[in-house]
Amino acid sequence: MDDSATTLEVLQRNLTAGGYQVFTAPGVAEAIEILEGTALDLVITDLKMPRVGGLDLVRHVRENFKDTEVMMITGYPSVKSAVDAIKIGAEEFLAKPFTDEELLSAVQRVLDKLNVRRSGHTALGQVVSVHKGFIADSRIMHKVFIAIGKAARTSATVLISGESGTGKELAARAIHYSSTRSSAPFVPVNCGGIPEALLESELFGHVKGAFTGATESRAGFFHAADGGTIFLDEVSDMSTAMQVKLLRVLQDKEICMVGSSRARKVDVRILAATNKDLQSLVKKGLFREDLFYRLNVITIFMPPLRERGDDILLLARHFVTKFAAGLGKSPPRFSDKALQSLRNYNWPGNVRELENVIQRLVVMTDGDLIEVPDLPSLMRFSALRRTGFTRTLAEVEAEYISNVLTSAEGNKTRAAEILGIDRKTLRQKLRKMEEPSS
């Protein structure tokens, strides 16, 4: 529900495409009318609404509809209200502007939680192994779960590292929601996504008149997370000046709003994540050594998907079931060769890449069997790996390009440099490699 027609349309279009049944309402009264007549899993509401505000709707749903979750959408500058929303019972909040992917994954997260709650925590148990939102059964991931459990029992700072798409944010949420802080807010901050000039006031808030345009004082993410957990994602993207300020917070456990000289105690647990090798950034002088040691009290390394063995197949089946259900299809099976290709492929984008590939396959496949020719070509070649002199030049080239890309951590500029071709050529080759063969 939203008072702006365009947001409403975007939500309706994306959620319908994602396989959900969607009802829309232009205001709180209309929304309540729908709620009374239909059993709904989830209400998505904007915070700012004409007449009755979004917060009142959250409260109303919490008090009257126990089996319905609420997700709040907020404009960029209203962190505090978002936190209020969570305190009175919204399950998630999503800050505008958001991508289609962020919307769908937030919705999925809320619905997954609802399902687990409804089924008394026994759901999925026999089919796949689920641990705090993770689908995994490999020994290497069991070690990760043990580390998450230990981290949850302390309030120490944790540094979560791992390639992109390995589940770092999922791990951070798991730590927060199994810690004693679970009923207080979990506040994720994408340090790389906020302009440098704004980051300090976003984190620490500012007082009235602190800078041009600061017409009133405003709390920051640290205030919002008080009593709970702040998740500093892509922490290596912080400038060295910001690193100094963060170090001070870690040392003194107090923050200073921009424009104020008075420090205030906060009780916030810090979790940080990076997909870069922080230690090597320290060596190069790009990341402060003292901050590194402060953040790195507990380290959790999320292993790349290619090292998780049969988890790849477990996850593939899970995503097939999930997306097929969303589309009202019966889930297709994989041929043995296709499974082997998925298993052998090196997954530079890890779980997120697997999720996207499977989603595309489920949408595109009409039959009930997915076979090797249905897979993107990068994966088709991985089935043929180690079969000796039977490959075409194009297959060898595709595999080599994909390996170089992995070793360059997905950085296309660097991969192109290594391959001795320009970025445009690389892009063309990649596009070609992603086309399914016919």
Ligand X SMILES: Nc1ncnc2c1ncn2[C@@H]1O[C@H](COP(=O)(O)OP(=O)(O)OP(=O)(O)O)[C@@H](O)[C@H]1O
Length of the chain: 438
Strand partners, 301: 161
Partner from ligand X, Mg ion, none contacting 275, C-beta within 5 to 8 A by type: ligand X
**How far is it, in rounded angstroms, from Cα 427 to Cα 341?**
23
In the bound complex, what is the minimum distance in angstroms from residue 276's beta carbon to ligand X? 10
Whether the Cβ atoms of residue 163 and residue 409 lie closer than 8 Å to each other: yes
Give the residue closest to Mg ion by C-beta.
169
Q: How far from the centroid of its chain's Cα atoms is residue 339's Cα?
A: 26
Note whether 407 binds ligand X by CB under 6 A. no
Q: Which of 164, 296, 321, 340 binds ligand X (CB under 6 A)?
A: 164
CB closer to ligand X out of 235 and 384? 235
Structure tokens that stand for 287 in this block: 């990341």
Return the residues of window 54-83 that contact Mg ion according to CB under 5 A.
none
Note whether 353 binds Mg ion by CB under 5 A. no
**How far is it, in rounded angstroms, from Cα 417 to Cα 426?**
10
CB closer to Mg ion out of 162 and 205? 162
Note whether 275 binds ligand X by CB under 6 A. yes
Whether the Cβ atoms of residue 363 and residue 327 lie closer than 8 Å to each other: yes
Q: Strand 254-256 to strand 263-265: parallel, antiparallel, or no bridges (unpaired)? A: antiparallel
Note whether 406 binds ligand X by CB under 6 A. no
Segment holding 45, helix H or strand E: strand 42-46
Structure tokens that stand for 301 in this block: 């390394």
Binding segment for ligand X (CB under 6 A), chosen from 44-52, 53-61, 351-359, 414-422, is 351-359
Burial class (CB in 10 A: 0-12, 13-18, 19+), 417: middle
CB closer to Mg ion out of 57 and 141? 141
Closest residue by Cα to residue 340 from 386, 405, 397: 386
Binding segment for ligand X (CB under 6 A), chosen from 81-89, 116-124, 158-166, 428-436, is 158-166
Note whether 136 binds ligand X by CB under 6 A. yes
Binding segment for Mg ion (CB under 5 A), chosen from 167-175, 209-217, 316-324, 370-378, is 167-175
Note whether 365 binds ligand X by CB under 6 A. no
CB closer to ligand X out of 82 and 354? 354
Q: Which of 43, 78, 92, 134 binds ligand X (CB under 6 A)?
A: 134
**How far is it, in rounded angstroms, from Cα 249 to Cα 257?**
12
Q: What share of the chain is helix, strand, coil (3-state, %, to 5)?
A: 50, 15, 35
Binding segment for ligand X (CB under 6 A), chosen from 33-41, 348-356, 368-376, 409-417, is 348-356
**How far is it, in rounded angstroms, from Cα 317 to Cα 303?**
20
Note whether 371 binds Mg ion by CB under 5 A. no
Q: Which of 8, 11, 86, 165 binds ligand X (CB under 6 A)?
A: 165
Binding segment for Mg ion (CB under 5 A), chosen from 143-151, 164-172, 285-293, 308-316, is 164-172
Helices (H) and strands (E) in the chain, counts: 19, 14
Q: Which residues of 204-222 are buried (b: 16+ CB within 10 A; e: fewer)?
A: bbbbeebeeeeeeebebbb
In the bound complex, what is the minimum distance in angstroms from residue 163's beta carbon to Mg ion? 11
In the bound complex, what is the minimum distance in angstroms from residue 363's beta carbon to ligand X? 17
Q: Which of 3, 56, 112, 169 binds Mg ion (CB under 5 A)?
A: 169
Note whether 236 binds ligand X by CB under 6 A. no
**How far is it, in rounded angstroms, from Cα 128 to Cα 65?**
30
Sketch the per residue contact string, 299 through 328, with ligand X: x for CB under 6 A, - otherwise. Answer: ----------------x-------------
Residues contributing to the site for ligand X (CB under 6 A): 105, 134-136, 162, 164-170, 275, 315, 351-352, 355
Residues contributing to the site for Mg ion (CB under 5 A): 169
